[in-house]
Amino acid sequence: MNIFRETLFAKRHLKKMPEGKLYLRISFFFLGIASTVWFLIRVIPKPSRAGYPCMRAAAPFMSGFIIYLISITGSVFAFRKLGKKLLSAKYIAAFGFLAIAAASVFITGSVNNTSSNAATLAIKQSLIANDPIGVATGLKPGRVVWVYDPGATNENCSNSSGDYWYQDDNTNQDTVRKMLADGIIRYSEADNLANAWNDLFEYFNVQHSKGNVGYSAGEKIVIKLNMTNMGSSGRTLTSLMNSTPQLVLAILEELIDSVGVAQADITIGDPYRGFGDFYWDKCHGKYPDVHYIEGSDTDGRQITQISADDVFFTSDVDNPFASRLPQAYLDAAYLINMPCMKSHNSAGITLAAKNHQGSVIAPSQNATNQYMGDDLHYCFPDVPENQVLGIYRHIVDYIAHSKLGGNTLVYIVDAIWSGRNWNGYVDKWGMPPFNGDYTSSLFISQDPVAIESVGYDFLYNEYNNTDYRDTYHEGDDFPLWVGVDDYILQAADPAYWPSGIEYDPDHADHNSPVGSLGVYEHWNNISDKQYTRNLGTGDGIELVSVFAGGEEPNFIRNTRNNNSIASIYSYPNPAEDVVFFEYSIDTPGDVYIEVFAIDGKKAACLQDQKKSAGTYQFRWNVEHLQSGSYILRVSHTSAAGVSTLLKKFEVL
């Protein structure tokens, strides 16, 4: 970075660091002691934790601190021996101790400088909450709608043979359909679904100089899915996550039945991956004239037609790459980007921006063998030299390109099921409000940077909690790498571009590279999830939470866990007459237990007692309840603070 960017970086993105070597030395000692203690506490009981990114980050501080202490001790010892040998005229021995002392001083100075630099980097890597960067965009600038309904998924799904995540008894079609409609309506604040979509189209068309008009008959729409685990002609879904089939059907229903788009004007799929049988049976049977594209042309699907010429160009002057794009992208008036939410072995995370890794193609490849690992993985943060801020990130080019990010009507992040690493192992999440259940969520926005920022906050905070990580996704801590969100920062503000890089993926005008593509921000904390527009303190992101068709109830919003509640169970689930609950607390305190209907209305208060640490069971008659989904909320107040956990259960 040049001096201007470094100054701006320190001012807006990083925690302010007082100047002076004394501060750095004090930081070094605190970091050294803390890192050593933390490393030993975590690794001694479980040596495999030494491979965690947080342990790898602590190791240099620990080793530098230990070497520093050894060198200091050695230099003091050597100087004392040197004085004694000189007084006794033993000059050869004195010379030897002088050499030892000099070496120790050199090592001490080197470690001191290195550790000071490491301390500086550690401080710089700590991001500030609620400090927005860039210019918010969208019909509702900076707005991201988060729709959460635990009834969308079956928490008892084993995701094994005969009981996979995508099956209709594990993913509720009606619930997913309602979640998408609620999210689109809440984003625009329209009074019905058709008007909500019209608002999205009108905003898009004004921004693209087409006038204040909605969708016009005959305009083509392309929908980019994520079918990474299907291969070029895959037909059979497995335990590995891809786009949620029920959501794929829901988006077609809304466009065709609510907006009035002709089936033949819609192209949907992941251009170089398979369109599986489960999707085909669910969608083609209802909408046979839609173009279902993939990397093959068998079983009624259409092989992706690719443009004759290169139309996408990376902005890396040292490693230029040019690509053709699917012809459907070039013909479309609008693109809808529907990625999955998961961690990633190379990129750290994969959301809407990286979804276009499946849109570009190398010169020697075709629709059946597209693979970008050899061409566009080199700037991902999966190697130490890339775990920094301020280097070229090709994902920014995806957001900036006129027929990719620039042609996107709306982003819909599919987190009905969330995955771990590029294989998409389906995971339950530990952070509130999921608390050991599947994520059952959608994220909707017209701001490409804001939705990446929110997705990053969810992924980073989920993986950053040590106890959650050990339980749910041990060893796959890719979202915690430094540099994972570098592309989001650069997409927000050109001031953070690397020296010599100007993002211009269209090669439309080298003298006019893109500007801010949206707003970047981090929330205030994992419990409240508030951004500056929520707090009324700035023009950054607004996270609008919708729970089961309405504004997120307080019993979800106020869910916190300081880990004093060890576990919570219910059985049988579903229950018909009686349900048994079991919970465990690690410390004495006041326990308050409530039951809520899925719409947030309180159904009962079951317990309000002081309890010692231990495991407790109780039964509750549910015959008087209507059939449906309910939430058990256990609150525990102890010396450590207030902790709450939620448990979903069904009543027949």
Residue 167 confidence class, pLDDT cut points 50, 70, 90: very high
Token couple for 355:
């979804």
Q: Percent of the chain at pLDDT above 90?
A: 56
Examine the pLDDT at 95 and tell me if it is beyond 60: no
Examine the pLDDT at 644 and tell me if it is beyond 90: no
On whether the CB atoms of residues 598 and 651 are closer than 8 A, the answer is: no
Mean pLDDT, residues 497-505 taken together: 93
Out of 176-185, 360-369, 580-589, least confident range: 580-589
CATH level 3 topology of 554-651: Immunoglobulin-like (2.60.40)
Examine the pLDDT at 211 and tell me if it is beyond 90: yes
Examine the pLDDT at 493 and tell me if it is beyond 70: yes
Write out pLDDT tens, residues 315-355: 999 999 999 999 999 999 999 999 999 999 999 999 999 99
Please give the Cα distance from 180 to 163 (Å, whole number).
Answer: 24
Residue 650 confidence class, pLDDT cut points 50, 70, 90: confident
Examine the pLDDT at 20 and tell me if it is beyond 50: no
On whether the CB atoms of residues 176 and 247 are closer than 8 A, the answer is: yes
Residue 511: DSSP 8-state: T
| Three-state secondary-structure class, residue 637 | strand
Residue 631 confidence class, pLDDT cut points 50, 70, 90: confident
On whether the CB atoms of residues 327 and 307 are closer than 8 A, the answer is: yes
Residue 52: DSSP 8-state: S
Out of 207-211, 229-233, 551-555, least confident range: 551-555
Query: Regarding beta strands 408-420 and 340-344, do their DSSP bridges make them parallel or antiparallel, or are they unpaired?
Result: parallel
Report the 10 Å Cβ neighbour count for 489.
25
Examine the pLDDT at 603 and tell me if it is beyond 60: yes
Please give the Cα distance from 272 to 361 (Å, whole number).
Answer: 9
Residue 91 confidence class, pLDDT cut points 50, 70, 90: low
Mean pLDDT, residues 14-30 taken together: 45
| Three-state secondary-structure class, residue 442 | strand
Residue type present at position 594: E
Between these two residues, 364 and 96, which has the higher pLDDT value? 364
Out of 129-133, 136-140, 410-414, least confident range: 129-133
Examine the pLDDT at 43 and tell me if it is beyond 60: no
Please give the Cα distance from 600 to 580 (Å, whole number).
Answer: 21
Out of 312-326, 380-394, 629-643, least confident range: 629-643
Report the 10 Å Cβ neighbour count for 16.
8
Start-end of CATH 2.60.40.1930 domains in the chain: 554-651
On whether the CB atoms of residues 452 and 137 are closer than 8 A, the answer is: no
Residue 559 confidence class, pLDDT cut points 50, 70, 90: low
Token couple for 556:
């979800």
Out of 100-114, 130-144, 364-378, 398-412, least confident range: 100-114
Mean pLDDT, residues 540-566 taken together: 68
pLDDT of residue 636: 87
Q: Percent of the chain at pLDDT above 70?
A: 75
Please give the Cα distance from 456 to 453 (Å, whole number).
Answer: 5
Token couple for 448:
């490409």
Q: Is the dihedral of CA 92, 96, 98, 102 positive or negative?
A: positive
On whether the CB atoms of residues 27 and 112 are closer than 8 A, the answer is: no
Query: Regarding beta strands 302-303 and 291-294, do their DSSP bridges make them parallel or antiparallel, or are they unpaired?
Result: parallel
CA 338 to chain centre: 14
State the Cα angle at 230 between 228 and 231, rounded to 5°: 90
pLDDT of residue 114: 39
Mean pLDDT, residues 277-286 taken together: 97
Minimal CA–CA distance to 467: which of 557, 556, 562, 559?
562
CA Rg, the chain, in Å?
28
Write out pLDDT tens, residues 423-446: 999 999 988 888 889 999 999 999
Query: Regarding beta strands 425-427 and 628-638, do their DSSP bridges make them parallel or antiparallel, or are they unpaired?
Result: unpaired
Residue 62 confidence class, pLDDT cut points 50, 70, 90: low
Between these two residues, 49 and 32, which has the higher pLDDT value? 32
Residue 124: DSSP 8-state: H
Mean pLDDT estimate for the chain: 83
Q: Where are the beta strands (DSSP E) in 178-333?
A: 221-224, 266-269, 291-294, 302-303, 312-313, 322-323
